[in-house]
């Protein structure tokens, strides 16, 4: 299903014997960020047939999303680029999941090598090229602070939605006033 | 494979599609108002920042004091490295190396062991015990 966060969440739940309904509901909430990604990607796909859009939508993920929007700031948006990113990510996901399943046990304490930091570090590397001017920086800072505050108060994934929309509104207001 | 596992996997796949497909179809159908277009233009930066920010202050879902949070230093080193290169592999390696060194040299033993997967879901309680009550969502 190519949704890393939900796989990380679903596995321990499965082991501890949670019911299928609860697991599926949790997976839904972990993935609500896809709504925002899909909405902001969609306008680039106006020329694509409806059935193809429904297929392409399946590979919206943090990575394919971040790679595509970064590229499309510098070059004319192309549907082919998104499909290329998504396909590579899909293949890499399946191959490395299989490798992990067979050899993952060989690394006893991944955190000793800082490997758990790879995920946040990748996000920094993906976010940086998007922050091109002061307005972007303001949006990123507000979203980040808002996300930390909301995450501390409301459990679950709501901070992504609240801070994502909050930051986008700030950006739109700043652009409007200029 | 057990039948209920199959149902679970199909269910998770279906519900994940439900988060991806509807807006992808809706927002590509017709011309959007200038206001919506403006809003959507800023979603990428806002969203990526929102996803990652709490991971740095709350690695493993716990709020740590800044001096005991290896992720904050890792983030600083990654940003510093970004002044010299935009190569993702180099940036990630720098951050990972920094976190590993900080854990091994600096932190008290109790802080070295952290969950392998940073839990940003809020599903882990303070003590690290898992609570799956739907109310917490």
Judged against a pLDDT cut of 70, whether residue A3 lies above it is answered with no
Given pLDDT bands bounded at 50, 70 and 90, which one contains residue A81?
A: very high
Chain A residues in contact with B86 by the CB 8 A cut-off are 125, 128-129
Neighbouring-strand partners of residue B130: B124
Minimum distance, in Å, between the CA of residue B83 and any CA atom of chain A: 10
pLDDT per position as a tens digit, A87-102: 998 888 888 888 888 8
Contact B96 A152 (CB under 8 A): no
Contact B52 A123 (CB under 8 A): yes
DSSP characters over B56-84: HHSGGG----GGG-HHHHHHHHHHHHTTT
CA distances from B104 to A92, A105, A113, B14, B109 (A): 31, 21, 9, 43, 9
What predicted TM-score, i.e. pTM, was given to this entire model?
Answer: 0.80
Select from B107, B20, B13, B27 the least CA-distant residue to B59: B107
Stretch 102-141 of chain A: residues touching chain B, C-beta under 8 Å: 109-131, 136, 139-141
Minimum distance, in Å, between the CA of residue B127 and any CA atom of chain A: 15
Q: What is the mean pLDDT of each run of 10 residues along chain B (137 residues)?
A: 79 89 88 88 94 80 68 87 86 88 70 47 40 32
The ipTM estimated for the assembled molecules is 0.87
Q: How many contacts, defined by CB atoms under 8 Å, are there between A and B?
A: 322
Average pLDDT over residues A73-95: 88
Query: Between A32, A53, A111, which is nearest B114 by CB?
Result: A111
Q: Which of B6, B44, B74 has the highest number of chain A CBs within 10 A, making it the mutation to test binding with A?
A: B44
Task: Name the residue with higher pLDDT: B12 or A108.
Answer: B12
Residue A49 CB partners (closer than 8 Å, separation 6+): none
CA–CA gap between residue A151 and residue B54 (Å, rounded): 7
- Within 13 Å of residue A86, how many CA atoms lie on the same side as its CB? 19
Stretch 98-127 of chain B: residues touching chain A, C-beta under 8 Å: 98-101, 103-104, 112-123
pLDDT per position as a tens digit, A12-54: 777 777 788 888 888 888 889 999 999 999 999 988 899 999 9
CA–CA gap between residue B50 and residue A62 (Å, rounded): 12
Query: Between B32, B88, B97, which is nearest A43 by CB?
Result: B32
Q: Is A50 near chain B, with CB under 8 Å?
A: yes
Residue B3 CB partners (closer than 8 Å, separation 6+): none
In this predicted structure, what is the pLDDT of residue A37?
94
Q: Is A167 near chain B, with CB under 8 Å?
A: yes
Neighbouring-strand partners of residue B124: B130
Q: Is A85 near chain B, with CB under 8 Å?
A: no
Given pLDDT bands bounded at 50, 70 and 90, which one contains residue A155?
A: confident
User: CA nearest A73 in B: which residue?
Assistant: B41
């Amino acid at each position: 299903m190519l949704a890393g966060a939900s796989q990380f969440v679903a596995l321990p739940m499965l082991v501890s014997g949670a019911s299928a309904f609860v697991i599926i509901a949790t997976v839904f909430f972990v993935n609500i960020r896809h709504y925002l990604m899909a909405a902001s990607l969609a306008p680039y796909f106006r020329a694509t047939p409806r059935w193809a859009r429904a297929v392409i939508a399946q590979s919206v993920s943090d990575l394919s999303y971040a790679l595509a929007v970064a590229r499309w700031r510098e070059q004319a948006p192309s549907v082919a680029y998104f499909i290329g990113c998504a396909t590579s990510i899909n293949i890499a996901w399946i191959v490395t999941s299989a490798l992990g399943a067979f050899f993952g046990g060989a690394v006893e304490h991944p955190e000793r090598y800082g490997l758990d930091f790879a995920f946040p570090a990748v996000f920094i590397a993906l976010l940086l090229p998007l922050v091109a001017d002061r307005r972007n920086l303001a949006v990123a800072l507000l979203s980040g602070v808002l996300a930390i505050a909301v995450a501390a108060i409301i459990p679950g994934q709501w901070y992504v939605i609240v801070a994502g929309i909050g930051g986008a509104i700030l950006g739109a207001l700043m652009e409007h006033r200029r | 494979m057990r039948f209920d596992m199959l149902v679970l996997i199909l269910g998770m796949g279906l519900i994940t599609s439900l988060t991806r497909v509807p807006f992808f179809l809706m927002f590509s159908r017709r011309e959007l108002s200038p206001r919506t277009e403006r809003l959507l233009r800023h979603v990428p930066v806002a969203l990526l920042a929102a996803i990652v920010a709490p991971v740095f202050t709350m690695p493993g879902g716990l709020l740590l004091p800044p001096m005991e949070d290896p992720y904050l230093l890792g983030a600083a080193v990654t940003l510093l490295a970004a002044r010299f290169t935009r190569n993702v592999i180099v940036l990630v390696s720098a951050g990972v190396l920094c976190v590993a060194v900080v854990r091994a040299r600096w932190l008290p033993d109790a802080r070295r062991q952290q969950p392998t997967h940073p839990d940003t879901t809020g599903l882990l309680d303070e003590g690290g015990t898992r609570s799956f009550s739907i109310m917490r969502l």
